């Protein structure tokens, strides 16, 4: 198995204002070493992407957007293209987040188009997959997450897999305070990686990072990150609090923060 560099991502969702965003970055940057030994990224709301990119200059913190549209330009009121996001200096984009899927009715087909557009603009996508509570209780977790994985990656070329990260985010764990147990996360991460191996080869599967997301906190981060196959975390609520996010970063590499 290849060593995968851990990756901790903070999804700010529709939170913070300009001052809050800058304050959070200034706290984080004062504590992060030049190379913490793992990857860190934050995903601010669109209006703050550029100021956060600027605030993170010279730090290991990368910046991404929470969504994009797949068309290049034109009459799509309210949408933001991948080239606009890249133009601001962002290097990543979250795609298929459960709130996009369930609040805004995004389909796997639309998400696949966004994946292709993002990769075409050299934005590294994080493709989110996850089952609802009803789907888990009905025994449909595998079916749902594998469908979202396969359909989301449908247009990705072999050479592009190195830029893609997957995030397993059970919908029932997002913002609820009920995280998946390490065993539950480990089971789905293995399922996802085995599917990647079956379709794209073991080398691609072993190189791809699969993050866990859903109520990650300083209290549960270390246990989740110890699970084989859990390569990092996509953190929502706790990423808005500098102290909590910093503690989760420390869990990603205790040695670098001893």
Among 33, 37, 47, 175, binds ligand PGA (CB under 6 A): 175
Burial group, residue 243, by CB count within 10 angstroms (0-12, 13-18, 19+):
exposed
Asked if 174 touches ligand PGA (CB under 6 A), the answer is yes
Among 152, 214, 218, 229, binds ligand PGA (CB under 6 A): 214
Residue tagged active-site, from 99, 131, 135, 169:
169
Asked if 64 touches ligand PGA (CB under 6 A), the answer is no
Asked if 216 touches ligand PGA (CB under 6 A), the answer is yes
Residue tagged active-site, from 97, 99, 106, 189:
97
187 is catalytic: no
Query: Nearest CA to 130 among 117, 111, 113, 116?
Result: 111
Asked if 67 touches ligand PGA (CB under 6 A), the answer is no
Provide the token pair at 102.
Answer: 């369930």
Q: Which stretch in 137-145, 200-208, 232-240, 244-252 sits in contact with ligand PGA by CB under 6 A?
A: 232-240
What does each C-alpha distance from 231 to 16, 38, 166, 243 come to in angstroms? Answer: 27, 10, 10, 22
What DSSP assignment string belongs to 69-110? Answer: BSSSSSS-TT--BHHHHHHTT--EEEES-HHHHHTS---HHH
CB of residue 104 to ligand PGA, shortest distance in Å: 14
Provide the token pair at 33.
Answer: 């070493």
| Binding interface with ligand PGA (CB under 6 A) | 11, 169, 174-175, 213-216, 234-238
Q: Which residues are catalytic?
A: 97, 169
């Amino acid at each position: 198995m290849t060593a995968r560099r851990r990756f901790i991502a903070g999804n700010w969702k529709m939170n913070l204002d300009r001052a809050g965003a800058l304050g959070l970055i200034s706290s984080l940057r004062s504590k992060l070493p030049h190379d913490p030994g793992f990857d860190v990224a934050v995903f601010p709301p669109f209006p703050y992407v550029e100021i956060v990119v600027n605030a993170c200059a010279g730090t290991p913190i990368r910046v991404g957007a929470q969504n994009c549209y797949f068309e290049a330009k034109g009459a799509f009121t309210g949408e933001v293209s991948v080239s606009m996001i890249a133009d601001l200096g962002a290097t990543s984009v979250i795609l298929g987040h459960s709130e996009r899927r369930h609040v805004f009715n995004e389909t796997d087909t639309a998400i696949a188009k966004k994946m292709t557009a993002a990769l075409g603009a050299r934005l590294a996508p994080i493709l989110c997959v996850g089952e609802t509570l009803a789907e888990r209780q009905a025994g449909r977790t595998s079916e749902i997450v594998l469908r979202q994985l396969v359909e989301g990656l449908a247009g990705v070329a072999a050479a592009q897999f190195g830029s893609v990260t997957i995030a397993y985010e059970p919908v029932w764990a997002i913002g609820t305070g009920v995280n998946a147990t390490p065993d539950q996360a480990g089971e789905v991460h293995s399922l996802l990686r085995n599917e990647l191996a079956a379709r794209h080869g073991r080398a691609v599967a072993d190189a791809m990072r699969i993050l866990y997301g859903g109520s990650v906190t300083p209290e549960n981060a270390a246990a989740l990150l110890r699970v084989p196959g859990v390569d990092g975390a996509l953190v929502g609520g706790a990423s808005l609090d500098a102290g909590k996010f910093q503690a989760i970063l420390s869990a990603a590499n205790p040695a670098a923060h001893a």
